[in-house]
């Protein structure tokens, strides 16, 4: 109160000096001096100066509030920037998710196309292999049939040869038996003719001619053996000689016959019957029977038993050698020629069939190589596709892991930012509430003090603030009734004002202005906090929606792609197993072609339709 009084006194003294007023009595004479005081420019300057001081204090408070507002605005701007960055990252994540979705759809389309191509190639290769194996089976069956036919033909030829030999032997035996009877008759006739010819010397040539005619007639039906052919030729020659009236001695003729037959011997006599016997003994070698067992030859054999025994032995040895050599050579040569012809024909047929089979096998081998190359190329494509698929799966796993990490970090950052914002807002709100409560309390106290103060206190405050118009208005109201008293009431009022102890009006105004600034700042901060809460709430809702969309999209994509990927891998494994089985079966078939069994295109418990269903 002392400071306020001193301030009022200084102001009054300064006003008196400026207005050149002698003393305070000038204020007490009349009211006209008060009106002049109001209209004075110096007091207006003083009033203006006081108002400027008050405004400067308000400006300082406004500056403080603006600084605090700027700091809060910076924080809100940073928060909005972080939210914008998070939204940008989320948009980029959405773009990456969309690109991955597009890639996955493309890969799924490529996978479906590759599965269809693989199925078509597999079916085509299996059909071609089935046809090829069927053709090879036909060829092998033909070869087997041809070989069996050749074997049967050989066996039939052998049986035929054996039967022919048996029939020839039987024919020879039958003809030999008939020949023996005829020869016995012939020999008896020849012996008779010879005996008669010895008695009749004049008819030698006719007997000789008739003898050889009889021999020719007897031997016409036995032309199969070599010896009989020789005898027939000899008989023909002899008959021709006789018919030409060439007189040749019997000794000379029979010696020539013996020489031609290789039966020349000094011990043998000049008997033609013995010579014919020697020639005809060749028929008795193969059968093992004795020659000339008839009744007619018993006398001849009894007469010349010793001579015939020696002759038989020598003739048998000589004729057996000759007959064996001739017959065996001819039979062997004929058999060899027949065998050679049969073997040559069979060999030519087998050579042609083998040549055809080798060409077909070469073609089949070339086809197998081409099919193997195609299968290897398809397997390489499958392996490359599997490697790319595994890479894409690993990349997808990495991207999903990165996305999950990014989501987790984003959620953590969002939670941290929200917690910071909430804590800051709560702290600011609590501080604002406390400051507003304290300000409200102080304001209420000030208002209560103003309400409790009386008119004199208000007048003193107005005088201290140099609020002359207001003070003048109070003075006019207070002293209107006491106008004629000459200023006595005014003196009382001034003395009572000096005696009262009240606070300085500047402090009161400062407090009022501070309260006003604090209230306005509180309202602005509350409005900014509300707007920031609304923006954060919207951004958090958007973030939550985006996270839910990304999570649902990733779950749907993984749920859709995993069965397709598993199905593709299963079909690839089935195709690899079946190709291995097929290659193994073909290799076994090529390794064992001589058994005659043709392995058909079969799989373990599955046909082509079942395999196709499994692949689908």
Nearest to 273 by CA among 227, 211, 210: 211
CA distances from 264 to 129, 269, 332, 365 (A): 80, 10, 28, 72
CB atoms closer than 10 angstroms to residue 494: 18
Radius of gyration of the chain (CA): 77
Q: Picking from 10-14, 234-238, 412-416, 501-505, which range would have the lowest pLDDT averaged per residue?
A: 501-505
Q: Does pLDDT of 534 surpass 60?
A: yes
Residues 5-32: tens digit of each pLDDT:
565 566 666 555 555 444 444 444 444 4
Buried b (16+ CB within 10 A) or exposed e, 374-409: ebeebeeebeebeeebeebeeebeebeeebeebbee
pLDDT given at position 28: 41
pLDDT given at position 149: 64
Distance CA 302, CA 300 (A): 5
191 vs 92, higher pLDDT: 92
- Dihedral sign for Cα atoms in the order 506, 510, 511, 515: positive
DSSP character at residue 203: T
CB atoms closer than 10 angstroms to residue 191: 20
Q: Is 251 exposed, middle or buried (0-12, 13-18, 19+ CB in 10 A)?
A: exposed
* Angle (deg, nearest 10), helices 455-464 and 468-478: 150
pLDDT given at position 365: 73
Angle made by CA atoms 453, 15, 36, in degrees to the nearest 5? 85
Distance CA 3, CA 15 (A): 18
580 vs 54, higher pLDDT: 580
In sequence order, what are the residues at sequence separation of 6 or more whose Cβ sits closer than 8 angstroms to the Cβ of residue 464?
Answer: 4, 7, 8, 11, 504, 505, 506
Question: 103 pLDDT band (50/70/90 cuts)?
Answer: confident
Q: Does pLDDT of 484 surpass 50?
A: no
In sequence order, what are the residues at sequence separation of 6 or more whose Cβ sits closer than 8 angstroms to the Cβ of residue 64?
Answer: none
Q: Does pLDDT of 164 surpass 60?
A: yes
Location of structure tokens 């010579």? 275
Asked whether the beta carbons of 208 and 240 are under 8 A apart, the reply is no
Q: Picking from 44-58, 301-315, 381-395, 588-602, which range would have the lowest pLDDT averaged per residue?
A: 588-602
DSSP β-bridge partners for residue 268: none
Which of 344-348, 415-419, 535-539 tops mean pLDDT? 415-419
pLDDT given at position 360: 74
422 vs 468, higher pLDDT: 422
Distance CA 565, CA 571 (A): 10
Percent helix, strand and coil across the chain, each to the nearest 5: 85, 0, 15
Q: Average pLDDT for residues 107-113, to the nearest whole number?
A: 73
Residues 371-415: tens digit of each pLDDT:
777 777 767 777 776 677 677 667 767 766 776 776 677 677 767
Which helix (H) or strand (E) covers residue 191, if one does?
Answer: helix 41-199
CA distances from 250 to 121, 255, 307 (A): 99, 8, 21
Residues 168-220: tens digit of each pLDDT:
555 555 555 555 555 555 555 555 555 555 455 444 445 555 655 655 555 55
Q: Picking from 96-110, 362-376, 454-468, 478-492, which range would have the lowest pLDDT averaged per residue?
A: 478-492
Q: Average pLDDT for residues 145-170, to the nearest whole number?
A: 65
pLDDT given at position 553: 60
Q: Average pLDDT for residues 284-294, to the nearest whole number?
A: 39
Angle made by CA atoms 261, 267, 271, in degrees to the nearest 5? 70
Distance CA 493, CA 491 (A): 5
Which of 64-78, 318-332, 558-572 tops mean pLDDT? 64-78
Asked whether the beta carbons of 579 and 598 are under 8 A apart, the reply is no
Asked whether the beta carbons of 218 and 205 are under 8 A apart, the reply is no
pLDDT given at position 498: 43
Q: Is 317 helix (H, G, I), strand (E, B) or coil?
A: helix
DSSP secondary structure, 386-449, as one string = HHHHHHHHHHHHHHHHHHHHHHHHHHHHHHHHHHHHHHHHHHHHHHHHHHHHHHHHHHHHHHHH
454 vs 286, higher pLDDT: 454
Which of 13-22, 295-304, 391-400, 558-567 tops mean pLDDT? 391-400
Distance CA 101, CA 82 (A): 28
Distance CA 284, CA 297 (A): 16
- Dihedral sign for Cα atoms in the order 188, 193, 198, 199: positive
pLDDT given at position 284: 40
Q: Does pLDDT of 281 surpass 50?
A: no
- What percent of the chain lies above the pLDDT cut of 90? 0
Q: Average pLDDT for residues 340-369, to the nearest whole number?
A: 67
pLDDT given at position 106: 79
Q: Average pLDDT for residues 603-607, to the nearest whole number?
A: 43
Question: What's the mean per-residue pLDDT of the chain?
Answer: 59
347 vs 227, higher pLDDT: 347
512 vs 243, higher pLDDT: 512
DSSP β-bridge partners for residue 606: 603
Map 353-369 to HEC letters: HHHHHHHHHHHHHHHHH
Asked whether the beta carbons of 61 and 26 are under 8 A apart, the reply is no
Backbone torsion region of residue 467, taken as left when φ is above 0, otherwise alpha when ψ lies between -120 and 50, otherwise beta: beta
Question: 43 pLDDT band (50/70/90 cuts)?
Answer: low
pLDDT given at position 109: 75
Nearest to 274 by CA among 227, 311, 219: 311
Which of 253-267, 315-329, 388-402, 596-610 tops mean pLDDT? 388-402
């Amino acid at each position: 109160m002392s400071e306020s009084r001193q301030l009022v006194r200084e102001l009054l003294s300064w006003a008196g000096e400026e207005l050149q007023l002698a003393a305070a009595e000038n204020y007490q004479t009349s009211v006209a001096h008060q009106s002049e005081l109001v209209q004075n420019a110096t007091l207006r300057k003083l009033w203006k100066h006081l108002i400027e001081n008050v405004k400067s204090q308000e400006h300082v408070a406004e500056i403080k509030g603006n600084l605090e507002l700027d700091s809060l605005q910076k924080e809100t701007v940073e928060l909005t920037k972080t939210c914008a960055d998070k939204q940008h990252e989320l948009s980029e994540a959405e773009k990456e998710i969309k690109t991955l979705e597009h890639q996955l759809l493309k890969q799924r389309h490529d996978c479906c196309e590759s599965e269809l191509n693989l199925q078509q190639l597999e079916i085509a290769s299996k059909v071609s292999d089935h046809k090829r194996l069927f053709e090879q089976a036909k060829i092998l069956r033909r070869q087997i049939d041809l070989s069996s036919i050749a074997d049967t033909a050989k066996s039939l030829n052998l049986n035929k040869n054996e039967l022919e030999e048996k029939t020839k032997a039987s024919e020879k035996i039958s003809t030999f038996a008939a020949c023996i009877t005829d020869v016995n008759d012939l020999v008896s006739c020849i012996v008779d003719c010879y005996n008669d010819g010895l008695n009749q010397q004049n008819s030698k040539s006719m007997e000789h001619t008739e003898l050889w005619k009889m021999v020719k007639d007897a031997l016409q039906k036995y032309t199969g053996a070599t010896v009989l052919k020789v005898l027939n030729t000899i008989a023909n020659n002899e008959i021709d000689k006789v018919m030409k009236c060439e007189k040749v001695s019997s000794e000379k003729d029979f010696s020539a016959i013996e020489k031609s037959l290789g039966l020349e011997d000094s011990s043998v006599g000049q008997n033609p019957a013995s010579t014919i016997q020697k020639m005809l003994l060749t028929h008795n070698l193969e059968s093992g029977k004795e020659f000339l067992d008839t009744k007619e030859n018993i006398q001849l054999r009894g007469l010349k038993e010793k001579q015939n025994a020696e002759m038989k032995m020598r003739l048998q040895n000589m004729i057996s050698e000759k007959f064996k050599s001739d017959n065996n050579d001819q039979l062997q040569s004929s058999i060899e020629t027949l065998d050679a012809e049969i073997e040559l024909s069979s060999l030519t047929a087998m050579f042609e069939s083998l040549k055809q089979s080798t060409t077909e096998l070469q073609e089949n081998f070339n086809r197998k190589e081409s099919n193997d190359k195609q299968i290897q190329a398809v397997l390489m494509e499958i392996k490359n596709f599997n490697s790319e698929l595994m890479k894409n799966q690993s990349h997808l796993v990495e991207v999903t892991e990165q996305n999950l990490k990014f989501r987790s970090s984003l959620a953590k950052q969002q939670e941290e930012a929200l917690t910071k914002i909430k804590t800051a807002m709560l702290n600011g709100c609590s501080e604002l509430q406390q400051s507003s409560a304290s300000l409200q309390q102080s304001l209420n106290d000030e208002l209560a003090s103003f309400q409790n103060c009386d008119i004199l206190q208000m007048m003193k405050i107005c005088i201290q603030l140099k609020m002359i118009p207001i003070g003048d208005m109070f003075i006019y109201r207070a002293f209107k009734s006491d106008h004629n008293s000459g200023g006595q009431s005014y003196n009382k009022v001034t003395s009572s004002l000096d005696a009262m102890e009240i606070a300085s009006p500047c402090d009161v105004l400062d407090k009022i202005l501070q309260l006003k600034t604090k209230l306005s700042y509180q309202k602005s901060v509350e409005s900014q906090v509300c707007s920031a809460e609304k923006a954060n709430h919207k951004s958090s809702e958007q973030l939550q929606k985006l996270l839910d969309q990304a999570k649902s999209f990733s779950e749907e994509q993984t749920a859709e792609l995993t069965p397709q990927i598993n199905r593709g891998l299963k079909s690839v494994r089935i195709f690899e197993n079946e190709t291995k089985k097929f290659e193994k079966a073909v290799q076994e078939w090529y390794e064992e072609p001589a058994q005659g069994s043709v392995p058909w295109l079969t799989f373990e418990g599955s046909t082509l339709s079942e395999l196709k269903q499994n692949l689908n």
